[in-house]
A and B are shown apart, each in its own frame.
Chain A
């Protein structure tokens, strides 16, 4: 909150000598820059520093866990990227991509456990490339995005061909114009802002789009089991409740006991809700028709990280052949797949949730392990319900290919 102010004030301070104001006449930018002076020599280091700062502020917030939650971090990242782009000076696509990647890498390094940061950066890069190619190649027909097994080999480097075609620039935009190095940027910025707006819109409508088809997944008189508190799952269940009459069992989800909050919210909405201790999940599973979980991150192999307890619930469901469905926004899909090798990826939290600090004698003698997430293998999951449609775990890789560019997998 306070840092936000710092950040704003800084932007205003830096604005007068900035050379970016000219683009902003045509864009509906957040920055309302009144004065213009085209002092480029000053503008270059200034803009570098301010970019650095806005990124740095978000990075330290992420590091301190002042912003948590996939969607919140994705939104914040997007806003910072918008600042970065609106201030950036570039004369070709590579420079722009490098600037965004640089900012993205800083943010990801600050908090590698919030994967939606990296995902947002990748998505923005993907959109930018698409827009640039559309702009530079005029009315050339869009590349078919349909995938088939026969094209599998080619799909390995889907963008390679495009890169080759880049030399034959058409349309109004020219890269590396020697006469006016800013012309490329100037022409492109409105398009870029639109691209970012698209991503922003997608994030803002994510819950609605996911819960759009809720009634197809939940049928009348079913019993659904869920875990923890997830805004996505909550909206999904509430949306289904408009047309269906069903019951929800919510596990308490120790040690955070988020399940209580979830149960309260659902029951106040008029859904018949049961709050049960985690230990009774297995016992109740035989009565459950469907397990609906939220996700923290969906990995490329179709597995996912979700709040601790999810693995137990999913395994219990497997034993009873109960389908496990995961509701998650598409921004949670990440091209990483080997995270489960990393012990630390489970995000070990504060032992105080499990063992109170006031238990003085025990603290010295007991090592408390309090992971925040569980890794749930793809075999245990039947389907992912995303704002981009429903997918089995086995086709997550395809979703990835459509959403991100391969070259961005490693920022």
Chain B
């Protein structure tokens, strides 16, 4: 009923002028930072300040007037679906239509999810992309407005990222992974994006030279908090589809788009002046965002005002929030510290001290216990004389009398520990899964299995006699993890609740032997950086020299092979061009290289025909007619360069005599124009000056001579054309190329041939006799086209 009426309302809206504002929530974290809390429910259903994270996200979107939300769920998708169905958002009047989308278990990254969105064709217009763990009060509708405004003038502005200014050391700013944004201060276009990792620490950021050339002023900012709110246009999912290797939205997509010189898309930043937005991306940010909510940075999304869970709290002095329904029992002697939230029906006994903590609903806290900077979910019982410090305690946990939970511990739902348990810092506990769960759970929880299997070897005496807990591995993993990404163990430490990772910072300064390798690479990086800055080389391509050479050779053979294949199998020009582009991206070589290779391949494709000049001519125009176009399709049209390359190649090849004819054929095909030939001719390099003496140079100069003749012909032609233009136009039947310029062209060919005859080269003299009439030339063209069609 609800969804039906909502959709009816939506249809009505579509009929109107107003477009429906769509949002996509990626309700999966794609990482395991909250383990073991997330073994039984997804992260987006973990409560923060007693309301599920997903509700906070919905509330943020509702504030922006989003009407249609797609929730992409992967792990525990059924639970998410159920939660959405039961939440207030499914009721009529919520103004939002929420569609849960169950994506395949094989979706391992945000990139996969985006490809799924593309395949399903969910979005129809500009949409808001957020994560399922967002807490925000930013006016996203304002960002959308700015984005749409920009799209009107610049169709390539595909994305607007919302960032928030923080200090370098803000508690909400993730230390494990942050980012450097290079912005144009005037347009706030994001010119470059670089991911910054806590460990191994990113020390160097490379900024492409072109950016500094193109923009007189740039801001390089390391103080921006990435809010993970992106306003995307429709083509963003399709870009993910095209670039199947994009995994992360920031590290791969944004970085990839900005460094790509073929996509030519722009990404902008929106620096939010007002409002708050942050992602609960790890336990450390869980802590800081809880504190931000309690100290009202998210106003009006605060417990006493617009609590997403619909609870009502009373706000008292010192940001203490107590549930307002008169069900909370606070003992006379208990001590409630500042920045504390206590859910309804919770009992706090005598002499309890609560400091900066969040206590869920229906909890019981025994006498003389102390809870410090911790988060306790609902239905948990904490016994007498316990201490809990900087930890997250799941729902339905029982911590029996006299237990101590030290900082950084994560205790999953339903665990029982104690009495007198002593937990180590950063202990992670969960219960054994039920048999039924394991069977139904087709999720590849290999690590959970592993943990369960390894329990025999773990000493559990400190957990107390009544415990049902299984212990997750403590400390760093045994084998040194070679994971490069931000999920490595040491980097994870920056994301842990209660871990200040101070020792990591220290070890970073004086590198010990284990990380020596890394120091050297860093130094190398530094070296290259300086080198590339001092040299006039292409800074954006930051490849160590040797590997560059390797790639070059490899690339040449690859191109030749792929072209041979294309020639042999008769690919279309477009397909061949795409293949070459991909090759170029893969081996990271400049465009000129590709062009050289292509020109070479095409020239070599022309078979030498001895004696018969007409056949030779036909052969040339057939090859050029079929493949000439490819030269301009591989990216970047620079005919002058094409001619230079052709010259250079012919000079060193047995096909030298064909230069004139090939050039003429290229001209015929509109691949080079008259002006281009003139420009090429005027280049000092083309004359072959400053070249070493030898056969090649001689040939080189011969080529130039041929060019001179051609230009002479052009000049002669011009005056001729002017006088004859009108009559010629009438006389000529409509040609394939269909332009009046065709006419002089064919004559050029004639003239050039004649010109070539003057040159002493014997090869050229072979073509001398083959001066063709315009009409024959045309018929040949037609023959060629037929041949290609076959």
A residues sitting closer than 8 Å to B (CB atoms) are 1-3, 5-6, 9-10, 13, 49, 52-54, 56-57, 60, 63-66, 109, 113, 342-344, 348-352, 357-361, 363-364, 367-368, 370
Contact = CB atoms under 8 A, between A and B. Distances in A.
Nearest to B167: A360
B704 interface: no
A349 B299 contact: yes
Contacts of B62: 60, 64
Chain B interface helix/strand/loop/mixed: loop
Nearest to B223: A358
A368 B319 CA distance: 10
A237 to B, nearest CB: 30
A57 B93 contact: yes
30 contacts: A2-B65, A3-B65, A5-B9, A6-B67, A6-B95, A9-B8, A13-B5, A56-B91, A60-B62, A64-B62, A64-B63, A64-B300, A64-B306, A342-B314, A343-B316, A343-B317, A344-B315, A344-B316, A349-B299, A352-B276, A358-B166, A360-B167, A360-B169, A360-B170, A361-B167, A363-B167, A363-B297, A364-B291, A367-B338, A367-B339
Nearest to A360: B167
A49 B92 contact: yes
Contacts of B16: 5
Contacts of B314: 342, 344
A56 B169 contact: no
B274 interface: yes
A360 B173 contact: yes
Given A52-B92, A360-B171, A9 B12 contact: yes
Interface in B137-175: 164-173
B95 A57 contact: yes
B755 to A, nearest CB: 72
Interface in B307-343: 312, 314-319, 338-339
Contact of B95 (A49, A60, A342, A363): A60
B177 interface: no
Contact of A367 (B276, B312, B319): B319
B122 interface: no
Nearest to B301: A64
A13 B8 contact: yes
Given A344-B314, A350-B299, A360-B169, A10 B305 contact: no
Contact of B295 (A9, A57, A359, A368): A368
A335 B93 CA distance: 31
B95 A348 contact: no
Nearest to A4: B95
B94 interface: yes
B205 interface: no
A352 B164 CA distance: 13
A112 to B, nearest CB: 9
B473 to A, nearest CB: 31
A358 B165 contact: yes
Contacts of A54: 93
A9 B165 contact: no
B296 interface: yes
Given A2-B65, A343-B317, A352-B274, A63 B305 contact: yes
A53 B91 CA distance: 9
Contacts of B609: none
A357 B306 contact: no
Contacts of A56: 91-94
A160 B165 CA distance: 61
Contacts of B164: 357
A357 B169 contact: no
A13 B8 CA distance: 9
Contact of A357 (B5, B92, B165, B291): B165
Nearest to A113: B305
A2 B297 contact: no
B683 to A, nearest CB: 54
Nearest to B313: A344
B126 interface: no
Contact of A360 (B168, B299, B339): B168
A342 B168 CA distance: 38
Interface string B33-62: 000000000000000000000000001001
B58 to A, nearest CB: 11
Nearest to B168: A360
B223 A3 contact: no
Nearest to B225: A357
Interface string B171-195: 1110000000000000000000000
